[in-house]
Amino acid sequence: MDCIFCKIAKNEIDATVIYEDNEVVAFDDLHPQAPQHKLIIPRKHITTLNDLTTEDESLVGHIYTVAKQLAAELGIDESGYRVVMNCNAGAGQTVFHIHAHLLGGRAMTWPPG
């Protein structure tokens, strides 16, 4: 499999990793859309949200718990932050390995686009 996020999770490609455990890895987005823009990926390859199973429920919950923890560590928990997961190209997914975008450090507008 030639998945860039799988390679990051396996330390085969360098990334600015800010958090990792047995289930997920978090790192800086290469093209940040906010002063703080981190990606949180599962080590398990899951192509899109449409490919989730009930077995993945705790993993997805863990991604959001890590997002909360990182927001606090980055000092954006009180001012506000956004956690986004895109599904398929029409929604903006460009890497087909599920991932959450943690964005903060500026005011977010709505609708997002």
Choice among 37, 45, 97, 99 that is catalytic: 99
CB count within 10 Å of CB 95 equals 14
Contacts 24+ apart (CB under 8 A), 68-74: 69/19, 70/18, 70/19, 70/26, 70/38, 70/40, 70/102, 71/102, 71/104, 74/36, 74/38, 74/104, 74/105
4-104 belongs to CATH 3.30.428.10:
yes
Q: Cα–Cα distance between 55 and 68 in angstroms, integer?
A: 22
68-111 per-position pLDDT tens digit: 999 999 999 999 999 999 999 999 999 999 999 999 999 999 88
What confidence category does residue 112 fall into, taking pLDDT thresholds of 50, 70 and 90?
confident
CB atoms within 10 A of CB 36: 18
Enter the pTM of the model.
0.96
Q: How does residue 18 score in pLDDT terms, banded at 50, 70 and 90?
A: very high
Instruction: Give residue 23's pLDDT.
Output: 98
Neighbours of 51 (CB within 10 A): 12
Which is higher by pLDDT, 1 or 80?
80
Confirm whether 101 is a catalytic residue: no
